[in-house]
Structure 1
Amino acid sequence: MRRLLVVGLLVVLAVITAALGYQVAKSSSSSAASPSNALRSDHLGALGEADGVVPDGVTVFDDAIPALANLDPGLLKALRQAATAAADDGVEFYVNSGWRSPGYQNQLLREAVSKYGSEDEAARRVATAATSPHVSGDAVDIGHSDATAWLSDHGAEYGLCQIYRNEPWHYELRTRAIDRGCPRMYADPTQDPRMQQ
C-alpha cells in the first residue's frame, strides 16, 4: 500500500512539473514573438510605441509612429529624401529604431548587460539614456541589408552617415558629409567621445 502511494505521488508530481514546464515555455515563446511583451520594466510596465518601440514594417514615411515623429526634423527630412531616391533603385527603408524614451533606452541597456555579462561589453552595443543619440532623436536604425548597402554608397549625399563600424544599421545626420563625405567611423560606441559623459 505504501509503495502504491509513493508511485501515485510521483505521478502527480510529474504531471504538475510537466504542466508548469509547458506554461513557462508557452509564456517564453509568446514574449519572444512580441517585442512589446518582451520589453518590460518593473517601474514602467510594458513599453510600447509611445516609448519608441517600432512595430514591424514601419518605413521612414510613417508619421504616426513616435519613433519617427520625435526624430530631429533635419534627420527625418534627409532620411525621406534618401528613401525617395532609393525607391528609384527598388530599395525601401524600413526603420528598426529611431527616437527612444529614456526608459526604453535603459531597458535595452539592462538587457545588453544581462546578455553580454558586463557593463563594459554592453557599452560596445548600447548607450546609456544620458548619452544615446536615439534618446535625443538624432539617430535611426535602418532595416534590411539592401537599404544599409544603399546608404553606405549614397548616404553621404544626404548627410546620412554610419557612425559605428559594428553597427551598419545605425545612421546619424552629418550635414558636412554632403560636401566632405562622412567622417571616419568609430569601431563601436565606446570609441565615441559623446559616450564618455
Structure 2
Amino acid sequence: MTRIPASARTARTTRRGVRGLIAVALIAGVVAVIAAAVLVHQAPTSSSRSSFTTPSLSSPSSPAPPSRIPPGGATVFDGSIPAVAKLDPELRKALREAAAAAATDNGVELRVTSGWRSTEHQNRLLREAVEKYGSESEAARWVATVETSPHVAGDAVDIGGSGATAWLSGHGAAYGLCQIYRNEPWHYELRADAADRGCPRMYADPTQDPRMRRQR
C-alpha cells in the first residue's frame, strides 16, 4: 500500500472543506432568495394598504353637497355650478350686470362663495354653527333654518373678497343689490326698487329680520 504524504492528505482535506463551505453558502443564498420572493408576493401593495387606511375624498358615504362652491369661489357667469345656476333669475341677472360694471370700473371681480343651497347643505351649516357657537340662539345670528333661509330659496348670494364687497357697498344699489345684515358684509339680496329708493336699513344680524322668525 502506498502511503499518502501527510501534506497531500492535508491539501485534500482542505479542498473538501472549501467545497463544503461553498455548497453551504450556495444553499443559504438560494434559501434567502426564495424567502425574499415569498415576502414580496405576500406583502400588500401601497394602493391596497391605502384602501384600508385612507378613506377616499370622493367616498359616496360623504358626498359634497351639490350646492357647495369650489374653494376660491365661482364667477357669477358660471352656469354649470348649481349654486349659481339655481339663483333667482332676476338676482342672477343683476349680479352679472354688476360684475360686468365692476370689472370695467377698476378690475374688481365679483366671486360667489355661496349662492343657492340644498336643504342638506343648509342643515349641515346650521349644525356646524350650533357646534361652533355653542347654542341655537347664537348660531341663528349667522345661519338660518331651511324654512327661513333665502339661500335655500335662491334669493341670496355671498360675495367673497374685500374689494368686491367694498365695490358692492358703494355701487350695488344701482343694480338692486343690497347688503341685508350688518354683521354679514358678504351677504347680498335683490331689492328691485333700490336703484330709485336706495337699499333698506340693514338689520344688525339675521335674528332681527322678521323673515327669520317664521317656523323657528
TM-score, structure 1 as length reference: 0.77
Aligned to 2:87: 71
**Matches of 1:182 and 1:93, distance apart in 2:** 19
The size of the alignment, in residue pairs, is 161
Give 5+ residue unaligned stretches, structure 1: 1-26
Pair 1:56 & 2:71 matched:
yes
Aligned to 1:3: none
- How far is the alpha carbon of 1:124 from its aligned partner? 0.3
Question: 1:12-27 counterparts in 2 under 5 A?
Answer: none
**Secondary structure, counterpart of 1:142 in structure 2:** strand
- How far is the alpha carbon of 1:56 from its aligned partner? 2.4
**Matches of 2:177 and 2:204, distance apart in 1:** 18
Aligned to 1:13: none
**Matches of 2:180 and 2:83, distance apart in 1:** 19
**Matches of 1:112 and 1:47, distance apart in 2:** 18
**One-letter identity of the residue aligned with 1:185:** M
**How much is the aligned-residue C-alpha RMSD, in angstroms?**
2.3
TM-score, structure 2 as length reference: 0.70
Change (3 A) 1:56 1:45: closer
**Secondary structure, counterpart of 1:129 in structure 2:** coil
Aligned to 2:3: none
- How far is the alpha carbon of 1:45 from its aligned partner? 3.6
Question: 1:1-197 counterparts in 2 under 5 A?
Answer: 45-48=62-65, 50=66, 52-57=67-72, 58-88=74-104, 89-197=106-214
**Matches of 1:145 and 1:68, distance apart in 2:** 20
Aligned to 2:21: none
- How far is the alpha carbon of 1:103 from its aligned partner? 0.8
**Matches of 2:159 and 2:171, distance apart in 1:** 14
